[in-house]
Amino acid sequence: MDNADAAPSLQPEGLPAADTAFVDDLEKRTFNWFWETANPKNGLVPDRAPLPNGAASIASVGFGLTAYGIGVERHYITRQQAVDRTLTTLRFLASLPQNDHVSGAAGYHGFFYHFLDPNTGLRVADWSELSSIDTALLMGGVLFSQSYFDHDTPREKEIRDIADHLYRRIDWTWMKAHGPWLSMGWMPPHTFLPSDWKGYNEGLIIYLQALGSPTHPLPAETWKTWTATYEGQWGDFEGHKLLNFAPMFGHQYSESWIDFRGVQDSWDRAHNVDYFQNGREAAYAQRAYARANPGDWKDYGSNIWGLTACDGPGDAQQVYHGKQRHYLAYSARGAGRDYILDDGTIAPTAVGGSIAFAPEIALPALKEMRARYGDRIYNKYGFLDAFNPSFADQKSYWVDGQQLGIDQGPILLMLENWRSGLVWNTMKKNPYLRAGLERAGFKGGWLQTKTAASKPSGQAL
């Protein structure tokens, strides 16, 4: 069994020159996806690209806002360019109408619709929900901007002020539709989605933001009420004991912004784990699953692994290795104690978004994918969203033709967290994140040291 209990053993310093060049190349290409696909007039970032007349995703915008700070530190863009794009984005978001109308609005009670028209910023269609998780991912980028742009200049001050306004106006208590938990969303004119945020998943960041709110906070006991729903997810999978969530994105979204190393809530302390270590165990468990390869899929092994929500070949039947197989379109693929959904489709983001957890297994896997499959899966914006060596098509095997913002984001943010800790260290300065963690009962790690907090100027909007 692989030893995931040890600390990450591969450091970005001292890598062979070829490895450093690969990491540099992947990070810059992935950054360029956000910089070049965003609408420069309003900052909205597409859900996926290329896709003519496609929708913008507010989660993509959150990852994009974070990408701009990375771009400054990596000298991809100037600080002034990042200020301009960030301010354009935040001004536009703050200007959009918020009401309960079926159309003609971008959000309600401070929350935003999941998908927006990339030009008008309004709800793209009647099927798009007011999304609590996607609003939280957007706010990840908004709060990063608030803490990153800390210079004493009028434009950076305006960034901090608008970020403060966008976060403070979210009425988290309104989203409590069915008891103590937050609903996954709402549809106008007055229908909350039936599902709530329960069980271990990407919802960490929602509850922490809701607990840290100075205007509409949830009660402090909400966190323990939520972690009490973890029952059944803790246990062994492929020789690794962890809090299970089958798709890797559930271990990556919140952790892209929050450094959980040594930072534990009461549930963690009782189980002698933290959410960072849990993500590390999840990566190792997925790799072990690929090595075992119970589905007998092509190419699975130590360096070809990674299941998460991603695109797929489509709802189709095809014979592989003498058996009729059912393939899927976009699905929450994963492997864990909770469930297994696997049709042979590999998503590089499952690996790239795990590089801060387990660089010693993630980097070799990314390199192997790049070397084995070449330019079929790697283009000017880095890895395409997914590929399936087991699914035959006219070019020998299926490869997606697009990248998705919510899959590019974890690759970029976790690469930078591994290399410099930039996103994590910036978020440590945000007073709202610290307040959320402390109200949830987190202790240890960086929370033991008071970080110089970035403060909004207090300008009314």
* pLDDT digits 0-9 by tens, 95-133: 999 999 999 999 999 999 999 999 999 999 999 999 999
d(CA 30, CA 74): 12
* pLDDT digits 0-9 by tens, 11-64: 999 999 999 999 999 999 999 999 999 999 999 999 999 999 999 999 999 999
Asked, for residue 54, whether it belongs to a domain, the answer is yes
d(CA 186, CA 400): 31
Asked, for residue 216, whether it belongs to a domain, the answer is no
3-state secondary structure 106-122: CEECCEEECEECCCCCC
Residue 418, class by beta-carbon neighbours within 10 Å (0-12 exposed, 13-18 middle, 19+ buried)? buried
Predicted confidence at residue 461, as pLDDT, reads 38
pLDDT tops 60 at residue 457: no
Strand order in the sheet with 130-131: 130-131, 185-187, 191-192
* pLDDT digits 0-9 by tens, 68-105: 999 999 999 999 999 999 999 999 999 999 999 999 99
CA distances from 293 to 17, 284, 286 (A): 33, 14, 10
CA 407 to chain centre: 7
Asked, for residue 36, whether it belongs to a domain, the answer is yes
In sequence order, the β-bridge partners of residue 116 are: 56, 123
d(CA 355, CA 352): 5
d(CA 427, CA 359): 22
Asked, for residue 347, whether it belongs to a domain, the answer is no
- Provide the whole-model pTM: 0.97
Task: Find the length of the chain.
Answer: 461
Supply the angle between the helices 132-148 and 79-95 in degrees, to the nearest 10.
Answer: 140
d(CA 349, CA 365): 11
* pLDDT digits 0-9 by tens, 213-242: 999 999 999 999 999 999 899 999 999 999
* pLDDT digits 0-9 by tens, 367-387: 999 999 999 999 999 999 999
Q: 212-251: string of b/e by CB count within 10 Å (b at 16+)?
A: bbeebbbeeebbeebbebbeebbeebbebbbbbbbbbbbb
Sequence-separated (6 or more) residues with CB below 8 Å from residue 342: 295, 297, 307, 333, 334, 335
Asked, for residue 136, whether it belongs to a domain, the answer is yes
Q: Give me 428's structure tokens.
A: 């440590």
Here the CATH number for the domain that contains residue 95 is: 1.50.10.140
d(CA 183, CA 198): 9
Asked, for residue 226, whether it belongs to a domain, the answer is no
The dihedral sign for the CA sequence 247, 251, 253, 254: positive
Residue 444, domain extent: 26-172+429-461
Q: Give me 340's structure tokens.
A: 């297994």
pLDDT tops 50 at residue 182: yes
Asked, for residue 88, whether it belongs to a domain, the answer is yes
d(CA 168, CA 146): 13
Largest CA distance in the chain: 67
The candidate with the shortest Cα–Cα distance to 51, out of 439, 453, 404, is: 404
Asked, for residue 115, whether it belongs to a domain, the answer is yes
In sequence order, the β-bridge partners of residue 337 are: none
3-state secondary structure of 338: coil
Banded model confidence at residue 459, pLDDT cuts 50, 70, 90:
very low
Amino acid at 166: L
d(CA 19, CA 360): 12
Q: Give me 380's structure tokens.
A: 């000017």
Predicted confidence at residue 118, as pLDDT, reads 99
Predicted confidence at residue 450, as pLDDT, reads 81
DSSP 20-45: HHHHHHHHHHHHHHHHHHS-TTT---
| Domain tally, the chain | 1
Share of the chain above pLDDT 90, in %: 93
71 sits in which H/E element:
helix 58-73
